[in-house]
Structures are given as C-alpha cells and as structure tokens.
Amino acid sequence: MGIATVNPATGEVIKTFEPLTDSDIEIRLQKAQEAFEQYRKTSFEQRSCWMSETANILEARKEEFGKLMTLEMGKTLKSAIAEVEKCAWVCRFYAENAAQFLADVHTQTDASDSFVRHQPLGIVLAVMPWNFPFWQVFRFAAPGLMAGNVGLLKHASNVPQCALAIEKIFLQAGFPPGVFQTLLIGADKIAPLIADDRIKAATLTGSEPAGASLAAAAGKQIKKVVLELGGSDPFIVMPSADLDAAVSTAVTARMLNNGQSCIAAKRFIVAESIAAEFEKHLVEKYQTLKVGDPMLPDTDIGPLATPTILKDLAHQVQVSIEQGAKVLIGGQPLDQPGNFYPPTILAGIPLDSAIAKEEFFGPVAMLFRAANIEMAIQIANNVPFGLGASAWTNNPLEQEKFINELEAGAVFINGLVKSDPRLPFGGIKRSGFGRELGIHGIQEFVNIKTVWVK
C-alpha cells in the first residue's frame, strides 16, 4: 500500500500519498540546515514561547488530533485524546525546564573559570512508530527543539496524516520554517539520510530489526543515536501484594493501546500460592472488556493497526498452543471486518521455549508461576529485552531486591510502567540504549563542551 491512511477498523483506504522524490528530500534537507544556522542563535525564552504555544494548540484541538490517530491506527478515541494531552504536558515541561537543564555547569579547577556548556548538534533525524503517533514524536521534539536542534521526522507509513499534522502544529506555534519537517518517505531512504553530513544524529523508536539497521548505518558514519526498541515487560505479583489492585492494574497494563505498547506488561509472573486466584480474577476482568469501534466511548479495545500485525500475533498464539500453552480466554482473531483480536490469556507456556521470550504486540497475556522471588526474577530476566518491569509486593526487602536485580531501564513497584516527562525513559539489552525525557533526554543530543579559561 505504501504511504496511506487505512482505517484498521474497516480496512477502508482513506487517503494515499506519493513519497517524496530525492530532489524533494534535498530541498527539505537544505531548508533544515539553513534553519538551524539561525535557530541555534535563538534564546531559551523565545523557544519557550513557541513551545508553550505548541502545547496550547494541542490542548485546544485534542479531539481533532485524537480522531486522526484513531482513524489511522485504531487506538480508542479516549486514549488518543489522552495522548494529545500528554504531548501538551511534555511541551510545557521542557518549555519551563530546558534553560535550567542546559545551563552552564561550573567546576573549580586550575583555571580562572572552567565549566560545561551544552550546545545543539544540528539536524536530528527521528524515525518514529505508529503505535503512539503523536507522543513518540513530541517526546523527542520537545527537548530536541528546546535544545536548539532542528528535526526531520520519518514517521511510520500508516500514519501520514498524523505526521503532516505535527509539522503544521509547530509552524502554527511560531517555530521558523524548516525547524521541524515531516518527510513522507519509505524505509529505504533512511540510510542515505544518515550518510548525509548535514544529519548529525538520529533517534528511533520501533522494532529491534529497525533499530539494528539504523544503528548500523549510523555506526558507519560515527553518528550519535538513541534507540527505544521492543520489550517483553514482566509484571510480578508476590503474596504480600494488594491482589485486587494488582489484577486491575494488570488489565490496564496489558490492554493499553490495544496491547500495542513496548512498555505494556506482557508476562505475568505470579507467586505459586496466589496464582490460581490471580488467574481467576484476571479472566473475569478480561471477560468484561468490550472489543469494537474505537471511536465509541464504551470501547475498551480497538483493532490492531495493520493486517500484518494481526496475522503475526495469531501465528504466535498458535505456536504457543503447539508448544503446550493453555488458552484461558480468547485465542483466535475475530471473524469480522477490521484487524480485531480478542483479549487472550495463555498459561503454561514452557519456560525454555523460544516463544516464551518473544514480544507479543497485541492483547495477549502470558501467565507464569514462580515458587519464590528468586525464580520470579530469573523468569523476568530470561528474555533478550530490558525495557520496563512492574513488581507487586508490600515487603520492603522484596522491593529492594526487585529494584536491584530486575534487568530493565525502569522498575515500578506496585504500579503501572509508564513514561513521564520528569523521568528518563529507555531500556537496556536489546530494548535499546540512550534515554528520552527528564534532564537525561534533553542532554542526549547536545555537545557537552568543556570550557577552560585563564
């Protein structure tokens, strides 16, 4: 299909787009470079005004942008509107804090004065996914633009209208032309862009293969990259946990974004003594979830974003069954138009099977039982990913053990794993490297320059 809006709830092709030609790309690259030469000289105060206005636009038109997201990738409208609100939050956060985060840091040495100055790098290429089509972009763009960089967005090909809308938002907010541009291009254009001397760095949120490809291309050019890739986050429940709270949060943690989130809880590891009760309540909660039109307010789960994702998820479930998994609920695509897959729970997947270590990108939960905390941590860490982890216990010693021993970029105790503008976000192992958000995120794409004066 190429670059097109295809309604995942119906399969209807809404709008198609012609990819940019090489000459189109060159024009935008040159425009970005020229914009950077002037934009880098703007003050934090001026950038803050523009970024605050960006937040105002997002808040004023959140229903409009929410409907666009739902139309293009199928998340529920209520969650899409919440996503726009979160984008406004990250814009305001960096509008208010960027100057402080990037202020000179003085250190006493043998110089009359010595300090660190943070300066922008230039054009940063952002390769972004379809699952959070506004949030993933703004969590890069807000700190990136506040630092004085300019952005080029290569968005996922199934959310072109979201990509174009975001470019317009920054222009309407007052940012100079060329500071943020959308490139409607295919994946085959990424490596040539990385090779261009005007591109100084890149950031990618997406699949492990996409991240490896970008990192390889950037490595050849010795260019900085930040990668936020896949995850198969554990959700561990110990006997001392508030079981009702854990079960309720487990549903939200798995079904977020129709199950299509890198930080969704995907593997539920439950202490043996409470496993049967946890499973019973989880199945009961799943039975109440409504699958259907994502535009309706009472819908809990909309369609998966593409037919390919639906096919891949159904295949993974079938392989799990063949390897010994028991289906507690769901387990088959819904026989209706659109890319719908029901809430599904798999139990008894062999721990040593390859499928137990894979990421399921949809509303499918895997249940495992652990005899003790050591086994729970072993199961949790026995995957190639290390993005987030949620652990439920009211035992302080167990909490400390989880914090220290879970292999993840974030550990949440008695809570849902989530991104927050105030805290760094990212993973370890094959979930990527580098950080977004917080002070760490804005400092990823700057020259940390040492200055020594005597």
For 410-453, the pLDDT digits (tens) are: 999 999 999 999 999 999 999 999 999 999 999 999 999 999 99
Question: Is 3-229+431-453's fold the same as 233-420's?
Answer: no
Q: What are the start-end ranges of the H helices in 222-324?
A: 243-255, 272-287, 307-322
Q: Say if CB 125 and CB 194 are below 8 A apart.
A: yes
**Model confidence at 173, in pLDDT bands (50, 70, 90)?**
very high
CA distance 280 to 439: 42
- State the residue for tokens 């946990």: 241
Q: Distance of CA 127 to CAs 204, 222, 322, Å?
A: 5, 18, 36
Strand spans (E) along 212-264: 224-228, 233-237
DSSP alpha helices (H): ranges in 340-437? 373-381, 396-405
Task: Look at the alpha carbons of 15, 18, 24, 28 in this order and tell me if their dihedral is positive or negative.
Answer: positive
Over pLDDT 70: what percentage of the chain?
100
**Could you tell me the pLDDT band of residue 2, with boundaries at 50, 70 and 90?**
confident
The upper half-sphere exposure of residue 398, i.e. CA atoms within 13 Å in the direction of its Cβ, equals 21
d(CA 232, CA 160): 28
The predicted-structure confidence for 333-377, as pLDDT tens digits, reads as follows: 999 999 999 999 999 999 999 999 999 999 999 999 999 999 999
Q: Which own/partner pairs from 59-63 qualify as long-range (CB within 8 Å, at least 24 positions apart)?
A: 59/84, 59/85, 59/88, 62/88
Could you tell me which of 165, 214, 163 has the C-alpha nearest to residue 185?
Answer: 163
Catalytic site positions: 228, 262
pLDDT at residue 1 is higher than 90: no
pLDDT of 203 > 70? The answer is: yes
- Position 148, amino acid: G
Residue 317 corresponds to which tokens in the numbers above? 């479930």
Percent share of the chain, pLDDT over 90: 100
CB 344 within 8 A of CB 329: yes
Contact assessment for residue 445 and residue 147, using Cβ atoms and an 8 Å cutoff: yes
CA-wise closest residue to 124 among 3, 17, 214: 214
Residue 117: phi and psi, rounded to 5, are -115, 140
Tell me, yes or no, if the pTM score tops 0.85.
Answer: yes
At 214 the pLDDT is 97
Q: Which residues 6+ apart lie within 8 Å of 61 measured at CB?
A: 84
- Average pLDDT in the 151-161 region? 98
Q: Two tokens at 1? A: 């299909």
Q: At residue 306, what is the residue type?
A: T
Over range 392-402, report the average pLDDT.
98
Domain ranges for the chain: 3-229+431-453, 233-420
Q: Which CATH superfamily is domain 233-420 in?
A: Aldehyde Dehydrogenase; Chain A, domain 2 (3.40.309.10)
Q: CA 235, CA 380: separation in Å to the nearest integer?
A: 8
Overall CATH class of domain 3-229+431-453: alpha beta
Alpha carbon distance 87, 82 (integer Å):
9
Which stretch of DSSP H or E encloses residue 125? strand 123-127
Backbone angles phi, psi at 406, to 5 degrees: -75, 130
**Burial track 169-190 (b if 16+ CB lie within 10 A, e otherwise):** bbeebebbebbbbbbbbeeeeb
Torsions phi, psi of 273, nearest 5?
Answer: -65, -20
Amino acid type, 366: M
Do the beta carbons of residue 56 and residue 73 sit within 8 Å? no
pLDDT at 36: 98
* Residue 262 burial (CB count, 10 A): 29
pLDDT, averaged across the chain: 98
